Every structure is written in C-alpha cells, then in structure tokens.
Amino acid sequence: EPETGRKKLSSHGRKRAAKRRLGAGSGPAGKRPLGGGGGEREPTGQTARGKSGFSDGNSKWLVPAKAKKTQPKGNHVELSSDGEVEEGSWEMEEEEEDGSSDEMVDDYGASSSEEEELLPIEKSALKQKPDREGLSEDDSEEEEEEDEAEEASKQKMGQKEEEGPDLQLNVDIDEQFKLPTSEEIEKEDILFIYLHVIHQRIQGNMEVLQDFREKREEGRSRQEYLALLRRDMAAYYSYSDFLLSKLMDIFPLPELVNFLEANEVPRPVTIRTNTLKTRRRDLAQALINRGVNLDPLGKWSKTGLVIYDSTVPIGATPEYLAGHYMLQGASSLLPVMALAPQENERILDMCCAPGGKTSYIAQLMKNTGMILANDSNAERLRSVVGNLHRLGVTNAVVSNCDGRQFPKVLGGFDRVLLDAPCSGTGVISKDPAVKTNKDEADILRCAHLQKELILSAIDSVNAASETGGYIVYCTCSIMVEENEWVVDYALKKRNVRLVATGLDFGKEGFTRFRDRRFHPSLKCTRRFYPHTHNMDGFFIAKLKKFSNAIPQARKDEEPAVEAAAPPAVPDTSTAEPLPKKKKLERSKAEEEQKLPQPALKKKRSLQAQKRPLKA
C-alpha cells in the first residue's frame, strides 16, 4: 500500500492513494480535510486531533499541527529541510512547520528505517514527541531557550539527529537569517542538505553576531550564539573544538570564516628559480615550451614563479632534474629574504629539511661562504643532500645534530635561520589531519622545544660579526603560543632585539593577546595567512643580537667564553669587552640597568652594519 509503504509519494500520489483507499465516497471528504486542514491548520488542528480526525485513511499522515510555535517563525527552514516539494508548498500556504513535520513523520514514520533517519525534520519531529512530553506545548520562547540549552548541553557534535530541534529553535532566534529557497537542491543528497543547512545557519548566526544589538533575539546571550557557532563550524569544517576555540581567539569572525575556507583549498604550486644555474625568464620560457602555465610570483620576489597548471609533472621535468628550480611554497621564500644572507658569511640553518631554504640561502650567497645545514631527522636529511646536489650548492655542510646542541658543536655564525618544528596550524590545507590531532599539550610541547631552540640559535650567533648578528625565527604556525610568546621569551632571556624583517607586506604580530602582554617591538614581526596572502600561514621574526653576553649572569664564565669565541674580532667589537666587564662587576645587574648599554651597542652595531655597505 502506498500509504503504509516505503515510497515517498507526491501530493498527487497521496491523494490518489487516499482516493483508492477510501473509494469514491470519501474522496471529496478526503480532499476537503486536506484543504481544510491546510487552510486552517491551527484551529482545526486541535479539534481534528481530538476527534477521530479524518475518517479516511489519511489520518495516519494527516495530523494537524500543534500550534507550538507562534507567528514569528516566518521560517522556511523546515521547508529547506524537507525532502518533499509538496510539503514545502504546503508550508508556503500555511507557514506551519509543525504540520509539515508531523506530516512528514507520519508519512515516513513507518519507513524511517533507512535514509530518512537523517532527515532533520524527522529527527526534529521525533524529538518533539519526547519534548512534548517533557515540556508543555508552550509558545514561549523561554521554553525554547531551555530546549536549546538542553540540546546544547546534551548534544555532542556527532549526533546530528539532535540538531533538528536546534534548527527550528535557532531559526526562531535568528529570524533574519536568509533562508534557502529551493527545495530541489536538498532533495538530492541528505548529507548535503545537512551540511548546507549548517552552513546557512553559520552565516545567519554570523550576521546576527555582527549586528548584535539589532538582530539579537530577546533573552538570548551572545555566548549562546557563539557556542552554537563554534559547534557548527567545528562540524562543518571538521575541526576539533580546541583548535576552533583557539582560532576564534585569534581571528575576528568574518576573517575566521575566510581562514577556514582557505584551509579547505590547496595553495597554488610555486617554484623558485635557482639563480646558480639559470635565470627566471629563461626558466619560464623553457617551462612554457613544455606546456606549463605560469606567472611571476609577485613584486616582492625575483625568483618565484607560480604554476597555474601544467601538462607535465612539475617535479619531473628535465629542468627540475637539472636543478634549475625548486618546488617550494611561497611563504618559505620569506624568511630567507628576511635573513638577507651576504656573500662570504657563515650561516647556520638549524632545521633545514628538505633543503629549500638552505638552497635559497646558498643561491643568494652565490655559493660563497659556508652554510651549515642541520636537521635532527636523519631520513629527511637525505632529501636535503639530494636537493643540494641537484641544485648545485657547493658551500653547504650537512649535519645531523639536535638543534639544541648548537653552540657547543659550532658557534660564531654570522646569521642563523631557525625554521622551528611547529604544530603546523598554518599549513592545514596541506595536512588536514592537523585540524583534529592537535591539542593543548601538543602546542605547549612545540612551544617548549621552540624556546630551547631559539636560545641555542641566539647563542650560536656572533654578535660581533661585521655583517651579521641576525637570527630569523620562523614557523609555519599561526598560534600565538608558538610565535609571539617564544620571541618574547627570547627577548627576555638574551641580549637580542627585534628588527624590521624587511618584508613590507603581511600582518604585524600581536603585541598583546588575551591575557598576555608582549614586548611592543613585536610589531616588527610578521604574520601571513592563507586567506589574506594566498600562501601558507607563517610567522617571521628577525632578531639582532647586540651582545654575546648572556644576561642574568648565571654563569660568570660564559661571557668570557663568548668573547673568546668569535674567530676574528673586528675593531667595532672593542666596545664589547667594556660593557662585558661592567656586567661582570655587577653580577646581579637588573634588566633596567642593561638598557643604557644596549643603546650604546645599538649605535655601534648599526655603524658596523653601515660600514660594509659603504665599503
């Protein structure tokens, strides 16, 4: 029987079925209640329910709506959730969610075993039954609030069934939501309906939050909206709650959506020309001849190219194999540009695998000087070696030490690049697993390691070097704990100060974040995001070391050792021993007293920098 059957029936189908069941006599009767019930759902509803309803077989599915909700539900969210056109059309007529939902339930209640289980309307209807028992059928929004609160407290993210009533309730809250109009879309795939609805709800919620004073629902707090938004976003974009809360702290809401959307899409493939072997336009020409569609990366880079599409695999062209270019993310070019290595310098790259930045440093130095490329992971070092050989880098020594051993192994470098191991929250588009597998402990562990590494990096630099004394600290993460906090820690613990990175684009780093306050010079650091710059999330800080002494004088011998370390002590460093002696005298020097000294040293180090330029 169609009525008790498993099929979805159109309105015509149902009418026909009804006719068939009842025979000619009750045909008109059957129709009339339909029309009548449709026309005056509310009044007749109760009564019709009270009496035997309709004597025809329609009673099973034609149950009048309870007037559970008041008018302001101008909402067609139910509409959208319906899988049925005619339900929608009925809705249009009467604007009664419940009726349709009830009808839906009755219609499909029997056959709700399979795919209909997911129908939110179904679920909402099912929910309403216990709800009906639990709560009185008030129209009061207070009830709905409680309901919603109950839902919120009961629900876990995975239980989508319970979202149904929230759906309705939320629509009550956020009346001005733009509601989806065409039911046909939702017919196609139930899961899509569901995500689509969540998406709509997110957007509606955000609209309300933007203009909270006007658009809010009476009696509902901002926290509730935010909580719902968080849950929705976590479900829609598949993030863990922890990570999403962190992101909500960092980004304002509209930007957050952009960020999340950008993480779903991979960043464009970019390559870096190896200027040791070729020129950018020659390379571009050669690749175009092979059938690659490319463009220069931007004004800020002279060696980058972005690949739009290609008929040949970019990682296997003869040019690649000949070492003319390197596949590298655009954001990885930035720390090396900030580092600005000069020729004949000694540079340390503490976490170099797979060697992209190292080779860029080498090409900027034109294979002069010396680079120590270090990584603690031996397997990844093989790719470093391969890349360096392929690209024709001759001035690199590759080593496999733990970065924290550094000044002991070899110190006195001119510049150090520290691309610290991080939680990877800036490269979610490359590794979606990060969305769910990072938690508080991971982030803190990373931060701890990064702090140790940055101190080692700072200690490995010779502040007295003529052309250098710089450390560039960068991570591919956007978390404040791993970025600003680590740099702030370094500022407190060592004689370094932040300098401008030389990158004129990118967002400035945070100088304060929630309850933490950082040093104001953190404005010089730069943050890059996938949604604003179309490159991987990145953080770059450039530090200048102005003294080889280690503050706090916890080891009085250390300053002396450091002073002896630099192999060639240029004239400008004669100023260094004097302040150091002063430090040794006042072994318990306060931080403030050191400030005048840095000022002195600043001038000298600036002079030191200017000298090579002039020369």
Partner 1 sequence: SEKLLKLAASVPRESLVAPGTCFGKFTKSQKFRLSVTALDFLAPYAKFKVWVKPGSEQSFLYGNHVLKSGLGRITENTAQYQGVVVYSMADVPLGFGVAAKSTQECRKVDPLAIVVFHQADVGEYVRNEDTLT
Residue set of the binding site: 351-357, 375, 402, 419
Closest CA to 171 of 95, 84, 64: 95
Least Å from the CB of residue 342 to partner 1: 17
Site map (CB under 8 A) of partner 1, residues 490-529, x = contact = ----------------------------------------
Measure Cα distances from 189 to 83, 159, 192, 233, 598 in Å: 9, 18, 5, 20, 66
d(CA 69, CA 66): 8
Nearer to partner 1, 398 or 487 (CB): 398
* Nearer to partner 1 (CB atom), residue 321 or residue 444: 321
Of 86, 166, 319, 349, the residue at the interface with partner 1 (CB under 8 A) is 319
Of 11 and 278, the one with the shorter C-beta distance to partner 1 is 278
Which is catalytic among the residues 422, 446, 474, 476?
A: 476
Q: Tell me the C-alpha distance between 542 and 280, whole Å.
A: 28
Region near partner 1 per CB under 8 A, out of 59-67, 374-382, 535-543, 591-599 = 374-382
Quick check: 381 binds partner 1 (CB under 8 A)? yes
Structure tokens at 7: 């099929």
Contact flag: residue 322 with partner 1 (CB under 8 A): yes
> C-beta of 404: minimal distance to partner 1 in Å?
13
Assess 415 for contact with partner 1 (CB under 8 A): no
Judged by CB under 8 A, the stretch of 35-43, 207-215, 322-330, 586-594 that binds partner 1 is 322-330
553 forms part of the interface with partner 1 (CB under 8 A): no
Q: Which two tokens stand for residue 28?
A: 């008109």
Q: Which is nearer to partner 1, 81 or 359 (CB)?
A: 359
Instruction: Please give the full DSSP string across 208-259, using - where no structure is assigned.
Output: HHHTHHHHPPTT--HHHHHHHHHHHHHHHHT--HHHHHHHHHHS-HHHHHHH
Conformation bin of residue 67: beta by default, left when phi > 0, alpha when psi is -120 to 50: beta
Q: Is 398 in the site for partner 1 (CB under 8 A)?
A: yes
Are the CB atoms for 181 and 71 separated by under 8 Å?
no
Which of the stretches 166-174, 211-219, 259-267, 394-402 binds partner 1 when contact is defined by CB under 8 A? 394-402
- CA 316 to CA 377: how far, in whole Å? 25
Residues constituting the chain:
615
Determine the Cα–Cα distance for residues 302 and 574; give it in Å rounded to an integer. Answer: 39
Q: Which of 13, 43, 386, 612 touches partner 1 (CB under 8 A)?
A: 386
Q: Does 110 bind partner 1 (CB under 8 A)?
A: no
Which residues carry a binding-site annotation for S-adenosyl-L-methionine?
A: 351-357, 375, 402, 419
- Type of residue numbered 91: E
Residue 410 near partner 1 by CB under 8 A: yes
Per-position x/- string for 268-307, each x denoting binding to partner 1 as judged by CB under 8 A, each - no binding = ---------x--------x---------------------
Nearer to partner 1, 13 or 315 (CB): 315
Owner of token pair 């930045």? 357
Residues 323-352 that bind partner 1 (CB under 8 A): 323-324, 346
- Token reading at 582: 């002063």
**Least gap, CB of 320 to partner 1 (angstroms):** 8
> Cβ 327 to partner 1, closest distance in Å?
11
**Which residues, at least 6 apart from 285, have a Cβ–Cβ distance to it below 8 Å?**
none
Taking the least distance from each CB to partner 1, the nearer of 37 and 355 is 355
Alpha carbon dihedral 271, 273, 274, 279, in 10-degree steps, equals 160
Site membership for partner 1, residue 33 (CB under 8 A): no
Identify the residue whose tokens are 């503050």.
551
> Which phi and psi angles does 25 have, rounded to 5°?
-60, -50
- Of 381 and 498, which has the nearer Cβ to partner 1? 381
Instruction: Report whether 50 contacts 41 (CB < 8 A).
Output: no
Measured over all CA atoms, what is the biggest interatomic distance in the chain, rounded to whole angstroms? Answer: 113
Q: Is 390 a residue that touches partner 1 (CB under 8 A)?
A: yes
Two structure tokens written together for 145:
């609030």
Tell me the torsion sign for CA atoms 338, 340, 345, 347: positive
Whether the CB-CB separation of 525 and 475 falls below 8 Å is answered with: no
Segment interacting with partner 1 (CB under 8 A) among 8-16, 55-63, 398-406, 595-603: 398-406
> Does the annotation count 476 as an active-site position?
yes
CB atoms within 10 A of CB 215: 17
Interface residue with partner 1 among 44, 59, 111, 399 (CB under 8 A) is 399
Chain contacts with partner 1 (rule: CB under 8 A): 277, 286, 315-316, 318-319, 321-324, 346, 370, 372, 378, 381-386, 388-390, 392-401, 409-410
| Residues acting as catalytic residues | 476
